[in-house]
Amino acid sequence: MPGTGYFDISNSVYVTKGTQTWSSYATWTAFTQWSGTPSSTLQFTTQVYDLGYVDFVNTLLSISASLPASTNITYGTTVDSAGAIVGATTYAVTPGQNPVNALYGRYFQFEINLAQSSAADIAPSISDITPSFSTTLRTITQADINTSTLTGSVGQRNLTFNVNTGKLTNILTQAHIQNLGDSAQDNEVPIVLVDKSSTPVVLNIFDADSYGKRRRIDCRLDVQAQFLPLLVADSNGNIRENT
């Protein structure tokens, strides 16, 4: 795989190349160390991983390295005949980042970057890079929500949840039947349309019994949502679930 270092077979570790060139040595006797002076940075790019299908996915990453690692995740839905990701998008992750977003694609590639923050730091090296992928969803339910208590305006309410969620993938709502009586309000028939692309989620609630079906109302409802758990990057750059 492409990178700026080389694999040290004797120690089973990927390390930096020396900073010297042939012009750095005036005589052969000055050439005393094969590896030379280690570079202050190191980069390695993994193979392209195929999830097997297109979906939102949590990209988890375990890195064994001498320094904290920053990662560029390149991803997309198709590859060309050479195996390169077509129309790729790159998502950057830095040590300590919170949150790390779920990504939508099938093919994923990881570029790992290490850099000394000072000359006193240990030389950059990588001994292991292990990515994994999770599409396991968690489910949360909230019952008897009175939408008039939510922020927003009548019939256009912002829905938040009582636990932290990551990428919301599915949201089901069930509006409660209104009291059937003689008044206009009693005869309201709520229909709930969900905009899950917004943050927070927006509930668009209309009265199906009104002329034009465009009159916005509030109602009581139950909600069931499925989501990918939140991810974070720890101080070393490992990407994991935010437990």
Q: What confidence tens digit (pLDDT) does each residue in 85-96 have? A: 999 999 999 999
Q: Quick check: 157 pLDDT over 80? A: yes
| Range with lowest mean pLDDT among 21-35, 44-58, 94-108 | 21-35
Please name the amino acid found at residue 135. Answer: T
| pLDDT level of residue 36 (50, 70, 90 thresholds) | confident
Whole-number pLDDT of residue 212: 77
Q: Which of 131, 155, 140 is nearest to 207 (CA)?
A: 155
Residue 162, pLDDT score:
83
Share of the chain above pLDDT 70, in %: 93
Sorted by where each starts, the structural domains of the chain and their CATH numbers stand as 5-135 (2.60.120), 138-227 (no CATH)
- State residue 185's pLDDT score: 53
Do 234 and 186 contact (CB within 8 A), yes or no?
no
Per-residue tokens: 11: 């120690």
Residue 119: pLDDT band with limits 50, 70, 90: confident
> Average pLDDT of 156-168?
90
State yes or no: pLDDT of 130 exceeds 90.
Answer: yes
Q: So what's the pLDDT on residue 128?
A: 97
176 Cβ partners below 8 Å, 6+ apart? Answer: 144, 190, 219, 220, 221, 222
- pLDDT score recorded for residue 85: 97
Average pLDDT over residues 101-124: 95
Is residue 32 classed exposed, middle or buried when 0-12, 13-18 and 19+ CB atoms within 10 A define those classes? Answer: exposed
The model's confidence at residue 180, banded by pLDDT at 50, 70 and 90, is low
Is residue 29 predicted with pLDDT exceeding 90?
Answer: no
Peptide bond into 99 cis (omega under 30): yes
Task: Tell me the pLDDT of the chain averaged across its residues.
Answer: 90
Cα separation, 23 vs 45, whole angstroms:
29
The whole-number pLDDT of residue 135 equals: 94
Is the pLDDT assigned to residue 58 strictly greater than 90? yes
